[in-house]
Amino acid sequence: MSKPKIFVARAIFPEVISRLEEHFEVQANQADKAWTKAELIAQLHDKDGAFMTGSDRIDADVLAACPQLKICSTMAVGYNNLDIDAMTAAGVLATNAPDVLTETTADFGFALLMATARRMTESEHYLRAGKWTQWSYDMFAGADIHGATLGILGMGRIGQGIAKRGALGFGMKVIYHNRSRLAPELEAECKARYVSKEELLKTADHLVLVLPYSAASHHSIGAAELALMKPSATLINIARGGIVDDAALAAALRDKRIAAAGLDVFEGEPKVHPDLLTVPNVVLTPHIASATVPTRLAMANLATDNLIGFFKDKKPLTPINPAVLAIK
């Protein structure tokens, strides 16, 4: 029996390509070309499955042009690049890569929070520019982390990881807001108190965004929400571009309506709103929260396991739209 044909949308670890080749006829993209929609269709139209990243979009047009496609396995946990309703309607399975990146991403969220509150990149630029000539009592004085109030918007697995780091490691008071409240034992484990979104915005010294992107979470933080925050507050976005109104945030940072922001994700990335590049009180990183070698390998291996499980006996590990499996 011939092997299923798989398209690997972007470059990936060579050992992952080798694993895939044991099970599939693989068309790889080790040159790491990013595809337009038409190019993606040209690559995918005769494939049975796709190994995807968070940058590749699957929508109704792509699905209509690729009738042979049965599964898109993304190595990201977030899947707002996949039109799940259209995939389900077309009978195409979607799988993602949760859990394996939780701790690494929570580490990064905390690192970005610390770098932002303690003004690390701003002060490094100052030093590198040769401007450090003497001590001064308020030179790059920032905000404390320990003992401060940590607000978390979106309390899934990564939010809970950040809560634990703050409460247990830094003696922070943790408050959170989420679509649904956590079970009491999880709240106790995270030492986190549920509050309204308004109280979260008004009370947090540091606010970390970890909610999934959807039409409902678009611009969850805009001018009105920023106006409720403390002028001394920091805002951290490790969730998705589009959850924050980047233009409104740049204006708030410029006018010092909040103290600082740390951003790993951007509206329309890899483009970054030009105003964010001109304000000094922002730490900017290129969507790398899950980027450690072991974690990226674990994500890629989980995406591979999902493809293998699906084609072997219709048993992927982490399906997003499992209803498709019932009708296959």
Residues that bind ligand GLV (CB under 6 A): 54, 76-78, 101, 290
105 vs 149 by CB, closer to ligand GLV: 105
How far is the C-alpha of 261 from the C-alpha of 25, rounded, in Å? Answer: 45
Q: What are phi and psi of 174, to 5 degrees?
A: -110, 125
Q: Tell me how far, at minimum, the Cβ of 288 lies from ligand GLV, in Å.
A: 9
Sign of CA dihedral 232, 237, 243, 247: positive
Could you tell me the CA-to-CA distances from 275 to 229, 238, 247, 272 in Å, in that order? Answer: 20, 19, 7, 8
143 vs 303 by CB, closer to ligand GLV: 303
Structure token digits, residue 170: 């830094």
Q: Tell me how far, at minimum, the Cβ of 74 lies from ligand GLV, in Å.
A: 8
Q: Tell me how far, at minimum, the Cβ of 287 lies from ligand GLV, in Å.
A: 6
Amino acid at the residue 109: G
Q: Is 181 a catalytic site residue?
A: no
* Residues in a beta bridge with 72: 50, 94
The 8-class DSSP code of residue 258 comes to S
101 vs 249 by CB, closer to ligand GLV: 101
243 vs 283 by CB, closer to ligand GLV: 243
The order of strands in the sheet holding 93-95 is 25-27, 5-8, 49-52, 71-74, 93-95
Name, in order, each residue with C-beta under 8 angstroms of 168's C-beta and a sequence gap of 6 or more.
191
Catalytic member of 240, 267, 273, 296: 240
How far is the C-alpha of 42 from the C-alpha of 205, rounded, in Å? Answer: 49
Instruction: Count how many Cα atoms sit within 13 Å of the Cα of residue 256 in the half-sphere of its side chain.
Output: 1
109 vs 142 by CB, closer to ligand GLV: 109
13 vs 132 by CB, closer to ligand GLV: 13
Q: Tell me how far, at minimum, the Cβ of 299 lies from ligand GLV, in Å.
A: 7
How far is the C-alpha of 246 from the C-alpha of 71, rounded, in Å? Answer: 34
78 vs 222 by CB, closer to ligand GLV: 78
| Spatial CA neighbour of 284 closest among 301, 263, 306, 305 | 263
Q: Tell me how far, at minimum, the Cβ of 266 lies from ligand GLV, in Å.
A: 12
Catalytic member of 103, 189, 199, 269: 269
Q: Tell me how far, at minimum, the Cβ of 104 lies from ligand GLV, in Å.
A: 10
Query: In this structure, are residues 235 and 264 in contact, taking their beta carbons and an 8 Å threshold?
Result: no
Q: Tell me how far, at minimum, the Cβ of 18 lies from ligand GLV, in Å.
A: 23
Structure token digits, residue 150: 């940590």
Query: In this structure, are residues 153 and 209 in contact, taking their beta carbons and an 8 Å threshold?
Result: yes
Catalytic member of 57, 157, 257, 287: 287
Tracing tokens 């899947």 back to the chain, one arrives at 79
Q: Is 21 a catalytic site residue?
A: no
Q: Is 240 a catalytic site residue?
A: yes
Residues annotated catalytic, as ranges = 240, 269, 287
